[in-house]
Amino acid sequence: MADRKKTQALDGLRHDDISDERPDNGSTIDAQNFAYTEDRKIGITGAVFLILNKMIGTGIFSTPSSIFAATGSVGISLMLWVIGGFLTFCGLSVFLEFGLAIPRSGGEKNYLERVYRRPRYLATCVLASQMILLGFSSGNSLAFGRYILFASGRETPDGWEARGIAVTCVTFAVLMHSVTPKWGIRLFNVLGVFKVVILLFIVFSGFAALAGHRRVPNPHNFDNAFRIEDGDGYGGGGAYAYSNALLNIIYSYKGWENANYVVSELKHPKKTLAIAAPIAIGGVTILYVLANVAYFAAIPKSDLAKSEVIVAGLFFRNIFGESAAARSLPAFVALSNLGNVLAVSFAHARLNQELAKEGMLPFSRFWASNKPFNAPASALFLHWIVTVIVLLAPPAGPAYNFIVNLYTYPGSWINGFVTAGLIYLHYKKSENWTSPWHTYLPISIIYLLANVFLALVPFIPPDGDWNADGYPYYVFPVVGVGVLILGGVYWSFWTKILPRIGGYKVVADRTFDDSGVETVSLTNIQSSPKFRSQISRSLAFSLTFTTAAPKLFALANSSVNGRRTSITVRSPPLDVTQVLRLHGNMKCFSICLYGYMLRFSLIAGMDKDLNLDSNKYPVVLVVFFSGYVVFEVLSNMILTRTRPSRYLPGIIILMGVLESGFAPGMLLLLSSWYKSEEQSKRFAVYISAAILSGAFGGLLAGSITSGLDGAYGKAGWRWLFVVEGAATMGVAVIAYFILPNFPANTSRLKFSQEEIDLAIRRLQHDRPQVHTEDEEKLGHWQAFKLSMTNWRTWLFVVGYMAIVGSSTLSYFYLSYFYLTLVKGLGYEFTAAQYMTIPIFGVAFVVTALTGSFADKNSKWRGVILCAWMSVAMLCTVIICVVYNFKARYALLVIDAKEALSKRQIKGSRKMRLSEGRNE
């Protein structure tokens, strides 16, 4: 079978043919081979740590200072961190759609080339200019140097000493990846675990600070949390300050796209990328928000605004005092920064190499080389050169914020063009765009508008004279745009001026053999040899290389007429089963996460305002939950006659009236897409979202009830209902667009027909009793009466109540009474809300792990269920007889994870019987 060949010319045309003939007047001067062995490829764990290492770097340990200084408000700063996480997930969705359709190293390079094909190579040159000139590791290297100096006792760790250590740091990273690439990967995997441990340590130290365990007086940062500070050093909350703060936050999240740059080196790239990226980003987002709460719990506002890069160092000092721990812990943060430098240099070197393979750089043969250690040493050297220049070029003095903004800003333009391109591919049917992942239009629009905001607002003069590190406000946006324009200038020279002067053109040939090995050959075609000059010889190079890669989608032209080209896109076969699982997991988890966050009003003053004592509150709950008993089965019977994308969001909007149908409806919807052996894990994800909302609910409730208490004459607990209720209704509107219906009636905009057919076939194979549309089936009321007259149903109800009733009681007991219990340990209402976060956080992790284990080991479900129930019962009894508050709190954490974990390991058969499903 002949190789598939794609030939690309610099004149804007693409010439495709099946033969292996080379143009008569072309010549290939040299050849290089690139192939990565299987043991050098990265699996899911390695990809998670590759992303974690780039995301968790300097940002979370340094940028909270500049973010708070820009906004002047604790509450607004925390909200911006949450917004940053949301925008990161929007960007992830866009990049997943591109990355799973084009599983090839290079990231944005491939995506821009797919969309912006005319003028040929212009988009790629602009991206190359940004990635090479601004894709440096300077910020993390500089933070590494400053934290090392801070750990050694320097009070003002700045200046040339820090920069010298930074140069040593990036030099070590480049040498590690160049000489021993396998050990370089192992090292940043180890440092990835280390980073997570450090962040967890900061988070739990922050909880201790909230409980009063600190070496400094209570900073009271959460009192009136949304008040905006003014004066010297604060941004005053203007548009420029907010955009500057959001750029710093995006810098902290930067790295979520890291795996997209090295897709060719991933094992099973589609599966690895689709699983690793959401896991890494979700975990980092949670840790970032909680780490900021920890900082505000221990550092006074004035100190935080002036702490610059050493926020974490100041935090450790305020928690542990002038002890050895306070001095040694910043050194551990420095190691975290080293891991980030290792990850950034690893990924950006691959991107530099991809650009060199296309022949887009001067001396591309050198930059694309894998010699002598089968590693991109030359591309790493290019990364080192740019990083060192950026480190040493700025004048002496503070430079960190300027470097951060300069690094982040041009990415807003690039991400904006990538997102706009994806929207274009969705609505331009002639492009024949398909991908295993689908990004919905509202997500694309939100991400596009956010990038437009970040790209334009920095040109607006800020209020007052506030700026970052003393540089004029316009410096970093002007330099960033200038770098992008420089890419356009380079394109004009490389593709137009020099070929015309030299009388040549360079044609790129791409071929893929049956094993998926890609070969790219750059051929120098001379049209006027007499005009060939020495400068044209240096640029009109020829290069052949081969790199192991998965089979890619092909761009094939059916005809070439002059300068008009007809393009057909062929995509590889889709792993539709994997796509169905990813769609269901992500959508239902996110909807449930936002649907259960209104449980924190009681201890915020509602009990006093409404005169609810310890006897009246349980009565209110009993009356409220009695509706569940009556309407859950009835609601699912209604659900099967309508569309879930309309019915379930409607329930969310009217939560107080119809909440009874939401939880069983989501379970019924999940079970209609997944096979029996797949359901426990999915139910665990769904229920763990409700548990995780307990942690986020405590965080948000603490900020809202303290920051808005008394605003417009309303108590804090009333504002809690207003803010979180409005957010819940907003999620319901979004759910209308992203929530699928049942396989038989879901929209083709949400799933392809192939995916829908596969879902139906899977269920028919899993449950032989499932009917097709052509077969007669029982009506809803017939099925209901048949179930009610079957003695097995009532026997099941008794057993179900005995086994599951305790977990349901425990769940609502935890959700609605834990706050009161924690408050009873002596914490004020705001601190009590924050102290519930570890309880629900631990329960979330244990619940997810238990569901996964139960799915793989179904015969152990009963044992696990009994074990969790026994431990929960034991902890509850001990709590009643132990009076030490710290011991009680520890037992509450254990009690929560056991009680909540057993809710999602019930067998699939029992779940189907209890869902009111008609089959």
Same domain (yes/no): 102, 140: yes
Q: For residue 495, is it within any domain?
A: no
Residue 748's pLDDT is what? Answer: 57
Same domain (yes/no): 389, 412: yes
Looking up residue 482, the CATH number of its domain turns out to be: 1.20.1740.10
User: Which domain-ending residue is among 536, 570, 604?
Assistant: 570
Percent of the chain scored above 70 by pLDDT? 54
Same domain (yes/no): 682, 723: yes
Q: Which residue has the higher pLDDT, 236 or 109?
A: 109
Same domain (yes/no): 462, 530: no
**Residues 732/737/739/743 CA torsion (nearest 10 deg):** 150
Percent of the chain scored above 90 by pLDDT? 2
Give residue-wise pLDDT tens across range 795-825: 766 665 555 444 444 444 444 445 555 555 5
Q: For residue 496, is it within any domain?
A: no
Q: Is 897 exposed, middle or buried (0-12, 13-18, 19+ CB in 10 A)?
A: buried
User: Which domain-ending residue is among 537, 570, 603?
Assistant: 570
Residue 603's pLDDT is what? Answer: 46
Q: For residue 778, is it within any domain?
A: yes
* 469 within 8 A of 399, measured Cβ to Cβ: yes
Residue 140's pLDDT is what? Answer: 76
Same domain (yes/no): 608, 519: no
3-state secondary structure of 831: helix
Same domain (yes/no): 206, 96: yes
Give residue-wise pLDDT tens across range 226-265: 887 776 656 555 677 787 788 788 878 887 887 887 787 7
Q: For residue 519, is it within any domain?
A: yes
For residue 90 the two structure tokens come to 């929007």
The lowest-confidence range among 54-63, 116-125, 435-444 is 54-63
Residue 338's pLDDT is what? Answer: 84
Residue 417's pLDDT is what? Answer: 92
Residue 536's pLDDT is what? Answer: 35
* 313 within 8 A of 330, measured Cβ to Cβ: yes
pLDDT at 419 over 90: yes
Same domain (yes/no): 282, 423: yes
* 148 within 8 A of 331, measured Cβ to Cβ: yes
Looking up residue 801, the CATH number of its domain turns out to be: 1.20.1250
Residue 421's pLDDT is what? Answer: 92
Domain count, the chain: 3
User: Which domain-ending residue is among 544, 570, 596?
Assistant: 570
Distance (Å, rounded) from C-alpha 411 to C-alpha 407? Answer: 8
* 189 within 8 A of 37, measured Cβ to Cβ: no
Same domain (yes/no): 566, 628: no
Give me the count of residues in the chain: 919
* 413 within 8 A of 482, measured Cβ to Cβ: no
Average pLDDT on 472-482 reads 81
Q: For residue 325, is it within any domain?
A: yes
pLDDT at 425 over 70: yes
Q: Which residue has the higher pLDDT, 378 or 611?
A: 378
For residue 870 the two structure tokens come to 């026994």
Cis bond upstream, residue 23 (ω within 30)? no
Distance (Å, rounded) from C-alpha 762 to C-alpha 614? Answer: 51
Residue 700's contacts (CB-CB under 8 Å, 6 or more residues apart) are: 597, 723, 724
Same domain (yes/no): 261, 306: yes
Same domain (yes/no): 607, 698: yes
Give the pLDDT band of residue 543 (cuts 50, 70, 90). Answer: very low
Q: Which residue has the higher pLDDT, 314 or 404?
A: 314
Domain residues for the domain of 562 are 4-18+25-33+503-570
pLDDT at 72 over 90: no
Give the pLDDT band of residue 418 (cuts 50, 70, 90). Answer: very high
Question: Which of 490-499, 523-532, 580-589 tops mean pLDDT?
Answer: 490-499
Give residue-wise pLDDT tens across range 284-314: 888 898 888 888 888 888 788 776 656 877 8
Q: Which amino acid is at 855?
A: D
Q: Which residue in the block uniquely carries the two structure tokens 């192992």?
A: 186
Question: Which of 435-444, 557-566, 582-591, 839-848 tops mean pLDDT?
Answer: 435-444
pLDDT at 547 over 60: no
Residue 814's pLDDT is what? Answer: 46
Same domain (yes/no): 29, 42: no
Same domain (yes/no): 585, 560: no
